Amino acid sequence: MNRIITSIVILAILAAGSFAAVAEVCSFTDKISGEIDVIEQAFTENDSEKCVNAAKELQKDWDGFTDFSILIFDAGQALEITSSIAEIVSFAEDENDEIYASCDRAQAQIALFRASHTPSVWKIL
């Protein structure tokens, strides 16, 4: 009987940890997407200082998140996002119009990242 109870407790802990990881990824991707929107808005308004600061903050936040690599299933996907964020920072510093394309690419990669970390019946099967 103790084995069954222990198994149920372990299963509950694993389920709680999984749901917490999904919730963290979802809230973080929402935050990052919002930061990218702020960067685009600042660039549109010709506020170079705000744009560069927001881009550097975005890079700092992403680098901090990747330290929790246990929440990242695909390192290649994370590397692509890291590359897009580095482009955003570079284009913000150079005041290059290509920042819009980099922001859109990063938004798409972040949406894919979120979708790949969200559980579904099809992923389990």
Tens digit of pLDDT for each residue in 36-54?
999 999 999 998 899 999 9
Cα torsion 98, 104, 110, 113 to 10°: value is -100
Residue 69 confidence (pLDDT) above 70: no
Cα 59 to Cα 45: distance, rounded to the nearest angstrom: 21
DSSP per-residue string spanning 30-67 = HHHHHHHHHHHHHHHTT-HHHHHHHHHHHHHHHHHHHT
CB 52 within 8 A of CB 29: no
Check: pTM over 0.85? Answer yes or no.
no
62 or 117, which is more confident?
Answer: 62
Burial annotation 33-42 (CB, 10 A radius, 16+ → b, else e): bebbebbbeb
Tens digit of pLDDT for each residue in 78-121?
889 999 999 999 999 998 999 999 999 999 999 998 888 777 77
Here the tokens at position 2 are: 């103790």
Residue 23 confidence (pLDDT) above 90: no
Region 72-77: mean pLDDT is 72
Q: Which structural domains are found in the chain, ordered by start?
A: 25-119 (1.20.120)
pLDDT of the residue at 124? 67
Region 68-85: mean pLDDT is 78
DSSP, collapsed to helix, strand or coil, labels residue 122 as helix
